[in-house]
A and B are shown apart, each in its own frame.
Chain A
Amino acid sequence: MKKEYSKDILEEIGKKFPDAVVKIHAPRRTYIRIPRDKVPALAEFLFKDKGCRLSIATGIDTRDGIEILYHFSLDESGTYYNIKTIIPKDDPQIKSIAPFLPAAEWIEREIHELFGVDFIGHPNLIPLLTAETWPENLYPLRRDYANEHKDLKLKKKM
């Protein structure tokens, strides 16, 4: 198979989800930006109908809100189709894709404990990596965490 994104898949996505914005970043990586309530449907389409595999999910705190990227990989051609959503910070909720995609269970737990995003419908939303004594409502990877606890940062020893 040719090592490039497949135009048929992108056309199908354009037909099924009219409010998706497709950006072709490189011959083997495309970003599909979509509002947050359509994410489970698009993920199911990529996973079940096209046979993609969930590689990882990443999160970052930007000025517009918390942006979550799901990286789906089509293994035969070596291409990546990434789903991008932006979640507003005063209402951090999104529907979880773990009920039909068990691979997303742990990474959604990690995004929940480090960013504070609530995944609705997740079977087991408990912290994964932080210590057992870490306080509940402290989300370390948000931008305001660094500003609040700036005084607690130790000086770098040379």
Chain B
Amino acid sequence: MASAKLWGLKKSPWVFHLAAASCNNCDIEILDVLTPRWDVERFGIVLVGSPRHADALLVTGVINRKSLPRVIEVYKQTPKPCLVIGVGTCTCDNHMFDGSYNVVGPYDKYIPVDVYIPGCPPKPEAIIMGVVKALQRL
């Protein structure tokens, strides 16, 4: 029975999009992925409106001092088991904002991240491949 439920998790990941202090380029690319041209509903991916319904958190942007407590709060509200996927190079290592007065480091320090997708911004094909790789690790 456990393997049947795990099969369910692999075949229908519902995503919630969380942008923490990003320049919104990666957000536009995530919006592109959800259009009919790339048709991610074939994999069961649906955009949901509330973090309580989500299986995968798509985080973008570099973490700010101001948005840090809010990102941790949203992560706590997502029911486990959940995946965290970091989209964009800003999530990996702060990209060009490294060393600024307001930046507090990559996401790794605060929440466990499963997959990082580098790129500024990553192409929609790269985002789909990243989500599929995260699902295969389950």
Q: Which residues of A approach B to under 8 Å, CB–CB?
A: 129-134, 140, 145, 149, 153-154, 156-157
A-B interface, 4 closest residue pairs, ranked by CB to CB distance from nearest: A131-B65, A131-B66, A140-B101, A153-B99
Q: Which residues of B contact A131 (CB under 8 A)?
A: 64-66, 102
Chain A residue nearest to B93 (CB atoms) is A157
Quick check: is B98 within 8 A (CB to CB) of the other chain?
Answer: yes
Chain A residue nearest to B96 (CB atoms) is A156
22 A–B pairs (Cβ distance < 8 Å), ordered by A: A129-B66, A130-B65, A130-B66, A130-B102, A131-B64, A131-B65, A131-B66, A131-B102, A132-B66, A133-B65, A134-B65, A140-B101, A140-B102, A145-B101, A149-B101, A153-B99, A154-B98, A154-B99, A156-B98, A156-B99, A157-B93, A157-B98
**Residue interface mask B27-71, A partner, CB < 8 A = 1:** 000000000000000000000000000000000000011100000
Q: Which residues of B contact A132 (CB under 8 A)?
A: 66
Q: Which residues of B approach A to under 8 Å, CB–CB?
A: 64-66, 93, 98-99, 101-102
Chain A residue nearest to B92 (CB atoms) is A157
> Nearest Cβ distance between residue B97 and chain A, in whole angstroms?
11
A131 to B101, CA, bound (A): 11
A131 to B20, CA, bound (A): 13
> Nearest Cβ distance between residue B68 and chain A, in whole angstroms?
8
A134 to B104, CA, bound (A): 13
A29 to B93, CA, bound (A): 40
Q: Which residues of A contact B64 (CB under 8 A)?
A: 131
> Nearest Cβ distance between residue A120 and chain B, in whole angstroms?
27
A129-B66, A157-B98 known; 11 new pairs, CB 8 Å cut-off, are A130-B66, A130-B102, A131-B64, A131-B65, A131-B102, A133-B65, A134-B65, A140-B101, A153-B99, A154-B99, A156-B98
A43 to B63, CA, bound (A): 38
> Nearest Cβ distance between residue B61 and chain A, in whole angstroms?
15
A131 to B63, CA, bound (A): 12
A154 to B97, CA, bound (A): 11
> Nearest Cβ distance between residue A154 and chain B, in whole angstroms?
5
Chain A residue nearest to B64 (CB atoms) is A131
Chain A residue nearest to B101 (CB atoms) is A140
> Nearest Cβ distance between residue A158 and chain B, in whole angstroms?
10
A6 to B93, CA, bound (A): 49
A133 to B99, CA, bound (A): 19
Chain A residue nearest to B67 (CB atoms) is A131
> Nearest Cβ distance between residue A10 and chain B, in whole angstroms?
38
> Nearest Cβ distance between residue A77 and chain B, in whole angstroms?
31
> Nearest Cβ distance between residue B90 and chain A, in whole angstroms?
13
Q: Which residues of B contact A157 (CB under 8 A)?
A: 93, 98
> Nearest Cβ distance between residue B120 and chain A, in whole angstroms?
15
Q: Which residues of B contact A130 (CB under 8 A)?
A: 65-66, 102
